[in-house]
Structure formats: structure tokens, C-alpha cells
Amino acid sequence: MSLTHCDLLIDGQRIAGVGTSFNVINPANESIMSSGRMASTEQLDQAVAAARRAFNTWRTTTDAERTALLHKIADSIEDNADELARIIVQEQGKPMFLAQMEVGGAVAWTRYNADLEIPVNVIEDSEHKRIEGHRKPLGVVASITPWNWPLMIAIWHIIPALRTGNTIVCKPSGLTPVNTLRLVEIINEILPAGVVNLVTGERAIGEAISRHSDIDKVIFTGSTPTGQHIMSNAAGNLKRLTLELGGNDAAIVLPGTNVDSVAEAIFNTAFVNMGQTCAALKRLYVHESLYDSLCIKLAAIADAQVVGDGLAEGTTFGPIQNANQFKRICELVDDAKAQGGRILCGGEPMAGKGYLYPPTIVADISKGVRLVDEEQFGPALPVIRYNNLDDAIRMANDCEYGLGGSVWGPDTAEAELIAHQLECGTVWINNHAEVLPHAPFGGSKMSGLGVEFGTDGLLEYTQLQVVNINK
């Protein structure tokens, strides 16, 4: 595959887009790594038509056939792991070790979903009647993915859709389309033409997808405003939706916690992927008895990071992915300074080319400051002091988002009682941001609709059909 030109892939064929031209920028040095043209709405129609034709055959494949083919896809991802990881680093920016983890996670997720059973629920089996709940594929699924985990999130969308007998049209972020194109190319070497297609584009194509009368489901990972727009546009044919949207996850550190034992895990879950993760820890509430010591420890861990190009040996912390997000982080940190926030480390962009910003810890900050109130989605963590646990719970819940949250402390039973009071889709105890293929994951409030992962996530790609049999 040529990395220098980013095409579409429709009905098994790579073709050039005919819409607006775009460049894919390496965020470490602002060089152009690839370029292409976006799809036109007519080309989107061609991709949807190809998926619809393929659905007529793909839906009839057996569970055993799909399982075997998905394992072949996992094998091929493994065979191309080095190439995929390198593309991730070049277009997304994360360090090589993290890109390798992303590829490894994509393989593991593919294999897990390949082996998932699609249950038949026996509702009644009496002398004269048997009632069963069967799961049927929906049809054409559209996947719209973001720029932060371009391979992993594409796998999260594509593989369950395939396992349940659907066909797919993918639209990756225009900032990181190359990796997803390579993935779809790999899949097309194994599956029949038209089962998985890819178009590039931004707002106009995304809107056309959400309005398209021949698309049966949209799965979207991204911002809440975009998710709301998709939901509004999807009403025309009552599309099924799975929306994994924004988050401003809060963590509460309880008195008595051993700072030395939790500091590294807190740092890693706040700054995973340079903080560019929906479920990353984004607001840290620390009891006053631990506040200063935990701040010092977090700052020391942050100062030890090696910030730079993800392809350079020794880099532990990569760039922010794009210029707009880089500008946003600069603005949020500058605003926090102006509001009296104390910068313990970082706090300024690095000199030279690239969107490099060091991990930044901001102390003496509270609600009313943008860095606390808004989802930063980047390498800046506000640390908020509390002295009353009820206040900490109230502050954690005082947010329009409800994706994840966590409680950290030595008494698991106490932490669990507090965890149940947090208003979020997933709550962790002595951990954060851990997503697993067998554990359903989704948001409450403005953080989303529906769930992904496990059997619950798999069934979101299906329609329940009740079969009522009189014996």
C-alpha cells in the first residue's frame, strides 16, 4: 500500500476521492505524511450500495464461517503489525510502544469477538407453545471513528458488526485515515468485496451518512455535539445508534490512601495517549490530608517523561494530535494560570516544530475554571482539594458528562459504597480508563447512548425477532 496517497475503498477496489483535497499531518513535526481527496456524496452512495449488495450474501454465512474469517483477519493484522504501528505513530503521534499496544489490542479484540456466541433466548417452552428470541443482523452499518485510537476504535466498530452478519461503510477521521484504510484493505483480502468499505470526508460526508436512507445503524465515537447532530439526522429512517461521546471523568482519592502506591496508576490513567482518551481521568479530587504529597509525586512522574517524536528511541510521551487540539490545551492551561492555578510542571508548549506539550499538573484549582469544567482531552490534569467526602461526590457529579469515574483508597468496601454514588456508565476502584472486550462500556447523561463490548455490545448490531410457535 502507498502511504503517500489516501484513497477510498469501495466494493473491493481502491479508488480516488473526487471531493476536497486534504493532507494528513505528522503531529510530531508537521510534515505531510499522506494526502488524498475526500469522497463525494455520490461515492458514498456507491459504497452504501456495495454494502447493501454484499449484505444479501454475507447475512447467510454461518456463525462458524464468520468466526473462522474473523480469526483470519486477526492473523493478518498480526502479520502486518509493524506496518500498522508505524502508521499509527506517523499520523496519530503516540510513542511506538503505545502504538504496538494498540495493534496488539486490536488483535485480541478481534479474536474475542470472533468467538462470541449470539444467544437464542427461550422465552417459553411449554406443552403447547415455544417462544424464542432470535437475533438478526440490521443490514448496513456506518462506522464513524475519531483520531485518538484510529486502529483500535475501528476494530471496536467493525468486528462486532461483521460477527453479527452486517456489512459496513467506514468513515475514519480525516486527521488519521491512513491506518483505517490499511486495515480495511487487509480485511478485503479476506472477505468478499463490498462487505467492508471505506470513504473519507468530514462534516458533509458525516451528515450524509447520518441521513442516508439505506444505512440501518450508525456507530459513532467522538464529541457530544456531533453525536447530537447524528441523532437528529438519523430520525428519517429510525436508524439504530450507538454513540460513545465526550467525558470529563472524575476520580476521588480517599483519606488514608498510600500516595506512593497509587500515584503512577493515577498518572498513567490520566495521561494515557497524552490525555487524548474519552475515558481518561480528567478531574482529580484529593483529600486535603494527601493533597500536597500526591501533587508532588504526580509532578515528579510528569517531569520524568521524555516528550518527542513517537518514532524516536526513548520517547515516552508524544505530541497532541492536531493543531486545533494543541491550541485548545494552550488556552485552557493559560486560563487556569490566569484564574490562580499553580502550575507544578509543564504549562508551556515546547519550542520548535510539532504539537509538543509536556504533561502538566495544575494545583489550587476548582470549579468555575475551564480546565475543570470542560473536557480538556489533552495533557493537562487539574487537581482539586476537598475536605468533606460529600462535597467531593457532589463536585464529581456536577457535570453534564457521565462516561467514567473512579474511587481510590485502601478500603475496597468503603470505596465501593462511594462508587455507587457516582453518576457514570463505568466506575473503577483503584483504577481508571480500563476497557475490556468482555465488559460492557457506555456513558450516561451527555456521554452517550448504548454500550459497546461483550455480549451486550454485540447485540446492539442486531434486531430482536420473537418466534412464537404453537406446537
| Per-residue pLDDT at 288 | 98
Query: Do 342 and 313 meet the contact criterion of CB atoms below 8 Å apart?
Result: no
Is 278 marked active-site?
yes
The 8 Å CB, 24+ separation contacts for 15-21 are 15/43, 17/43, 17/199, 17/200, 17/201, 18/43, 19/43, 19/201, 19/204, 19/205
Distance CA 73, CA 462 (A): 22
In angstroms and rounded to an integer, the radius of gyration of the C-alpha atoms of the chain is 23
DSSP summary character for residue 378: S
Cell (9 digits) for 76: 493478518
The one-letter code for the residue type at 179 is N
Q: Which helix (DSSP H) or strand (DSSP E) does residue 136 occupy?
A: strand 129-137
Confidence check: pLDDT of 1 > 80: no
DSSP summary character for residue 207: H
Catalytic member of 102, 244, 375, 460: 244
Q: Measure CA 455 to chain center.
A: 18
Looking at residues 355-379, what average pLDDT do you find?
98
C-alpha separations of 51 from 9, 126, 153, 165, 285 in Å = 11, 41, 20, 12, 48
DSSP summary character for residue 46: H
| Per-residue pLDDT at 393 | 98
In sequence order, what are the beta bridge partners of 287? Answer: 386
Catalytic member of 6, 91, 170, 278: 278
In this structure, which topology does domain 5-245+447-470 adopt according to CATH?
Aldehyde Dehydrogenase; Chain A, domain 1 (3.40.605)
Q: What is the band of 308 on the pLDDT scale with cuts at 50, 70, 90?
A: very high
Return the axis-axis angle of helices 96-114 and 150-163, rounded to nearest 10°: 10
Confidence check: pLDDT of 283 > 60: yes
Asked if the domains 5-245+447-470 and 249-436 are classified in one and the same CATH topology, the answer is: no
CB-based contacts of 38: which residues, under 8 Å, 6+ apart?
17, 19, 20, 21, 22, 174, 200, 201, 202, 205
Query: Do 74 and 192 meet the contact criterion of CB atoms below 8 Å apart?
Result: no
Q: What is the band of 3 on the pLDDT scale with cuts at 50, 70, 90?
A: low
The one-letter code for the residue type at 287 is H
Q: What is the band of 371 on the pLDDT scale with cuts at 50, 70, 90?
A: very high
249-436: CATH homologous superfamily?
Answer: Aldehyde Dehydrogenase; Chain A, domain 2 (3.40.309.10)
Task: Give one word for 287, left, alpha or beta, with left for phi > 0 and alpha for psi -120 to 50.
Answer: beta
pLDDT digits (tens, 9 = 90+) for 164-218: 999 999 999 999 999 999 999 999 999 999 999 999 999 999 999 999 999 999 9
Q: Nearest-CA neighbor of 448 among 414, 407, 378, 401?
A: 401
Q: Which helix (DSSP H) or strand (DSSP E) does residue 84 occupy?
A: helix 81-92
Looking at residues 358-376, what average pLDDT do you find?
97
Place of cell 456531533: 226
pLDDT digits (tens, 9 = 90+) for 68-114: 999 999 999 999 999 999 999 999 999 999 999 999 999 999 999 99
pLDDT digits (tens, 9 = 90+) for 220-276: 999 999 999 999 999 999 999 999 999 999 999 999 999 999 999 999 999 999 999
Indicate the average pLDDT of the chain.
97
Confidence check: pLDDT of 435 > 80: yes
Looking at residues 306-324, what average pLDDT do you find?
98
| Per-residue pLDDT at 317 | 98
| Per-residue pLDDT at 345 | 98
Q: What is the band of 5 on the pLDDT scale with cuts at 50, 70, 90?
A: confident
Domain ranges across the chain: 5-245+447-470, 249-436
Query: Do 354 and 27 meet the contact criterion of CB atoms below 8 Å apart?
Result: yes
Order across the sheet with 462-470: list the strands: 121-125, 129-137, 462-470
Confidence check: pLDDT of 400 > 70: yes
Query: Do 322 and 365 meet the contact criterion of CB atoms below 8 Å apart?
Result: no
pLDDT digits (tens, 9 = 90+) for 132-179: 999 999 999 999 999 999 999 999 999 999 999 999 999 999 999 999
| Per-residue pLDDT at 75 | 98
Distance CA 11, CA 51 (A): 7
The HSE-up count of residue 411 (CA atoms within 13 Å, CB side) is 8
Confidence check: pLDDT of 2 > 70: no
Looking at residues 3-17, what average pLDDT do you find?
92
Percentage of residues of the chain with pLDDT beyond 70: 99
CB-based contacts of 210: which residues, under 8 Å, 6+ apart?
142, 218, 229, 230, 233, 234, 239
Q: Which helix (DSSP H) or strand (DSSP E) does residue 344 occupy?
A: strand 342-345
Is 244 marked active-site?
yes
CB-based contacts of 155: which residues, under 8 Å, 6+ apart?
106, 109, 110, 183
3-state helix, strand, coil in the chain (%, to 5): 40, 25, 35
